[in-house]
Structure 1
Amino acid sequence: MMRKLTLAIASMFLPATVFADTVHIITQAEFVTPSRSESSEISIAFTPSAPISFKVAGKTCNWVSSSDPYGSGGGAGCNYSITIAPSGDLTDATSNGNGCTESGEPMISACE
């Protein structure tokens, strides 16, 4: 009885799903009248099981996930961040390595 209770309590504190990859998108906007700049952010975390593919700013981005065989394998974690400028251009593309799509131009080029 005590063992079952201990397992039940332990399972409440263990995450049901382990997330290894994240995509963080920052969208910037410039208001002309009244003059001001604003931004919004969204972060998505997920368990890697396929390449990361999403649409933003009229482009489809296809990045490497950390799931085997797509990236470094074993859920090492591909953590990405990219900014959509007021012009619609993709900027400030970063990744953390780990076999992921490289930061900068390789990430932006992977969005067509």
Structure 2
Amino acid sequence: MKRLMFSLAALGLAAVAHADTVNIVSQAAFVSPSGAPSSTISMAFTPNAPIVFKVAGKTCRWVSSSSPWGSGGGAGCNYSITVDDGGNLINASSNGNGCTAAGQAMIAACN
């Protein structure tokens, strides 16, 4: 019975564990009334393939932490990028760990 409970608990923990995250911040610029609101879309997932998504008319292809694509073993690739009010990709960041490098490398991987 103890072995069954441990197995079920392990399965439950594995189901909710996410190694990679992508945060996309979208900015707007209101002229009237004035203001600059933003919103964030977040996606957390267990990596099993390269990360591919579409934003601002571009397809981004980033490394996930899932072997053989990244550093492997659940090291975690945590990304953030902003789409400014002109549709430009800016403020690209990652936490390393064998992931797509932060900054221009992330933006260049979106075309």
Q: TM-score higher than 0.5 here?
A: yes
Q: Distance in 1 between matches of 2:110 and 2:103?
A: 12
- Structure 1 runs of 4+ aligned residues shifted over 2 Å read 2-17
Q: Aligned residue for 2:106?
A: 107
Shift in Å at residue 8 of structure 1? 8.6
Larger CA Rg, structure 1 vs 2: 1
1:13–1:47 Cα change, 3 Å: closer
Q: Where does structure 1 lack aligned partners over 5 or more consecutive residues?
A: none
Is structure 2 residue 69 aligned with structure 1 residue 70? yes
Structure 1 counterpart of 2:40:
41
Percent identity between the aligned chains? 62
2:42, 2:8 → 1: CA distance? 30
Gaps of 5+ in 2: none
Aligned-CA RMSD value:
2.0
Distance 1:5 1:68, change over 3 A: closer
Question: d(CA) in 1 for partners of 2:70 and 2:8?
Answer: 35
How many equivalent pairs are there? 111
Aligned partner of 2:69: which letter? Y
TM score, norm. by length of structure 1: 0.89
CA shift, 1:75, in A, is 1.2
